[in-house]
Amino acid sequence: MTIYNQEDLEIFELREMLDGLLAALVTVGDHDALTQLFAEPAGCWLPLDEFIETNDALRAQLDALNERAEGETLIAWMDYLDADETAQLCTIMLFNEGLVMSAVAIYNRAYLLKDNQA
């Protein structure tokens, strides 16, 4: 049986907050934020707050993380290397500088294009 101390539990909670923030970004489908992100060069780390200024729910999640963790949360995307050309898969990454913690999601950019054409 593993016994965790308070510091371990705090780290687990912060990890869940970072993961939850990225999950909300890709599942809620903030089209403005994702469109703006994909307009940036792949592999370029940028402050997340610049992309979610108009999304109150995502902003609240980032603010909650910032209250408990020092350092800026950055976002970047890169093409998913194992994807074929038609899949349009990419990875979206968050990194919190103070926590030295990251979260990664695989996202299909074709969904964004399809939704924007509707």
Q: What pTM did the predictor assign? A: 0.85
Percent of the chain with pLDDT over 70: 86
Question: What mean pLDDT value characterizes the chain?
Answer: 87
> Do 93 and 75 form a contact (C-beta atoms < 8 A)?
yes
Write down how long the chain is: 118
Cα angle 28, 32, 33; round to 5: 70
Residue with the two structure tokens 């290397």: 81
Q: What is the pLDDT averaged over residues 68-76?
A: 93
> How do residues 7-59 score in pLDDT, each as one tens digit?
878 889 999 999 999 999 998 766 888 989 999 999 999 999 999 988 999 99
